[in-house]
Structure 1
Amino acid sequence: MTMPEAQTGPRGAHTGMLLWALIVGLSFPAVGLLNEGLPPLLLTAVRFAIAALAMAVFVRRAPDRWPGLPGLALYAVMGLCLAGFFGAMFWAAHRATALSMATLYVSVPLLAYGLGRGLGVEHPGGRLFAILALGAAGALALALAQGGTASGGFRFGSGEAVFFLGCVATALYPVLSKWGLARGWLSGDAALRTFWSLVAGCIAIALLGLLLERPQDLVRMSLSDLLLVAYLGVFSSGVTFWLMQRATAVLTPGTVTAYTYLVPFVSMVILFAQAPAHIGWQWLPGSAMVVLAITLLLRRNGSTSAPAQAVRAVRG
């Protein structure tokens, strides 16, 4: 896990993000197995703490394991981004419709692209924007096919506004990672960047949870809940964050976050395996658009050296 970024080319980064989408897609059914009544923010902080402990095994002897003051400050901001997203998601869960949240969430790669352009870590060109728009349309079509309309149509109220701010926060996370790498503020080791962002996120989310939730509710956790949270912490948080950080050093933020479009596709495959009767023609348009968008991203391997030019431009 301490493999230098220089040894991870675009193809390896894309492969890692495909694995990221698979792990994230498989995590949603696992989350549904947790007992109800557990505080979600504090539970997320526990997940991040477990993930950070797992990553600490791989970074404890790294020569640059302690970031400088600019790096610590940037990790703190990245932790606030994570806390902002999870806090907004849980706050909006009972104030926004499922369709509204699904619609807003597909904007994350486009937001990452725009923010990356603003900070100079995303190369200009309309092709990537067009691919991201195609993937967004496909992911939204899959969300609709999965029955998002059953929870109400799209609207934009206070819940949606807060959730959109959370989407901006999560889109900013890989952008800040890329920006910090370009300035030399963050370690070149993906495992170290994962560790410190998890630590910062754990602290920020725990503080938010202590303000909004009751810590005593954590005593309701059973042994099966604890084992499940440990699994989610190591794989759904630790491994996925490492895969994202590894890809961020090679790909642009918009390309990295575009793999979120595959998550509903993975959910569709799981649904098909569990209940084939629920799969109909309504799944085809969204699936085709998502697969086409990811295929186009993979075919851009030859042009992914462009982010290095953006990094040099930032340093210059």
Structure 2
Amino acid sequence: MKRTGFAAAHVGMLLWALLIAVSFSAAAQVSQAIDPILLTGLRLLCCALVFLPLLLFKGDTAMTARGLLGHAVLGMLLALYFGSLFEALRYTSAVNTGTMFTLVPLLTLLFEAILTPDSRLKQRVLPMLVAAAGAVLLVLKGAGPGELPSLYAVSVYAVGCLAMALYSPLSQRLKANSLKGRGPVGMTFWNMLFGALFLLVFCGFSGGWRSALLLSGSDIWWLIYLALFATLTTFWLLHRAIGVIAPSSVISYIYLSTLFITLFHWLWLRQSPRALEIFGALLVGVGMLALLISSRDAMPAQQSALKASGHVSGD
């Protein structure tokens, strides 16, 4: 299996950040009358079906019982995250969910320290804190001036953010053990499939499947878009970068996503930048630049460790 290069992994994550930025607003376009668990289950199932032919072509279908369990756990984390996002969007704005997501890289760093301890972790703490502070200044606002998001929305999405923070470090840990040798296509397919099954089974018991009758043509279009670009593509890019870049550095690209969201409001919606937002944008830029430099400095040692373990990540 061909290994993804350092530069290619970062370019891919730059595209990831842009797709994530668009996804928050795209998810908000789907009718709020439809059960969010059903929406998420259909979204993940669509992703898995799209990747099935490629999986069969690559012959990455061999599976052990431990491998199935690993994918099931990762699929559950995906189900928790996406389900919480759709539910939170019922009670708060896409901007607020984007703001909360800025905490995920710091939580990822914590889980990374527990699951894959590394002496270089401390080099990423300060750059991530700087970028996180800038991201919070960029988008921390409610639906109106001085309005904060609802406590329920914050609580629900906090569970999803914890699940997403655990996803990348746990993926790396499993890819070195029960899922060793599994490429981005296989990881994406099986994780999405299990996530979809969990959500659709729950939806069957909860009665949320009945809201499928309310799906309009517009809702179906947005679901297809979210499945192909905001879910399938982003998670393929994520798994493509994991192993080449540390999990916490990979997910830190969400800070650039936050910056893209703000630039959209400034340039496209013609909203006047506030002083704190400008300062926040500078902090994000400085933090991400420092994170990139520290990531490059750690590259030789990291790739040596990958060669020693026989683990590769690529197409």
Please, what TM-score do these two structures have when normalized by structure 1? 0.86
Q: Does 1:85 align with 2:89?
A: no
Give the direction of change, closer, same or farther, for the CA distance of 1:33–1:97 in structure 2 (3 Å limit): closer
Verify the 8 A CA contact 1:34 1:225 in the aligned structure 2: yes
**Offset of residue 187 of structure 1:** 3.6
SS at match of 2:62: coil
Aligned residues: 309
Equivalence map 1:247-286=2 (5 Å) = 247-286=241-280
SS at match of 1:275: coil
For 1:314 and 1:104, locate their aligned partners in 2 and report how far apart those are by CA, in whole Å.
35
For 1:160 and 1:170, locate their aligned partners in 2 and report how far apart those are by CA, in whole Å.
15
Give the direction of change, closer, same or farther, for the CA distance of 1:248–1:149 in structure 2 (3 Å limit): farther
Task: Note the alpha carbon deviations across 1:242-261, whole angstroms, 9 max, x for none.
Answer: 00000112111101110111
**Offset of residue 63 of structure 1:** 2.8
For 2:5 and 2:179, locate their aligned partners in 1 and report how far apart those are by CA, in whole Å.
22
Task: Note the alpha carbon deviations across 1:255-283, whole angstroms, 9 max, x for none.
Answer: 11101112221111221232224333332
Report the residue type matching 2:281 in the other structure.
S
The correspondence for 1:52, drawn from 48, 51, 62, is: 48
Corresponding position of 1:304: 299
The correspondence for 1:31, drawn from 27, 31, 34, is: 27
Task: Note the alpha carbon deviations across 1:166-194, whole angstroms, 9 max, x for none.
Answer: 22211111111111112252444211111
Corresponding position of 1:176: 170
Task: Note the alpha carbon deviations across 1:104-139, whole angstroms, 9 max, x for none.
Answer: 432211111111111125553422011111121111
Corresponding position of 1:191: 185
Give the direction of change, closer, same or farther, for the CA distance of 1:46–1:97 in structure 2 (3 Å limit): closer
For 1:211 and 1:219, locate their aligned partners in 2 and report how far apart those are by CA, in whole Å.
17
Give the direction of change, closer, same or farther, for the CA distance of 1:225–1:90 in structure 2 (3 Å limit): closer
Verify the 8 A CA contact 2:113 2:121 in the aligned structure 1: no
Q: Does 1:205 align with 2:202?
A: no
The correspondence for 2:232, drawn from 234, 238, 243, is: 238
Equivalence map 1:98-113=2 (5 Å) = 104-113=100-109
Corresponding position of 1:143: 139
For 1:258 and 1:82, locate their aligned partners in 2 and report how far apart those are by CA, in whole Å.
18
Verify the 8 A CA contact 2:25 2:94 in the aligned structure 1: no
Verify the 8 A CA contact 2:40 2:83 in the aligned structure 1: no
Corresponding position of 2:313: none
For 2:216 and 2:153, locate their aligned partners in 1 and report how far apart those are by CA, in whole Å.
32
Please, what TM-score do these two structures have when normalized by structure 2? 0.86
SS at match of 1:278: coil
Give the direction of change, closer, same or farther, for the CA distance of 1:96–1:233 in structure 2 (3 Å limit): closer
Report the residue type matching 1:120 in the other structure.
T
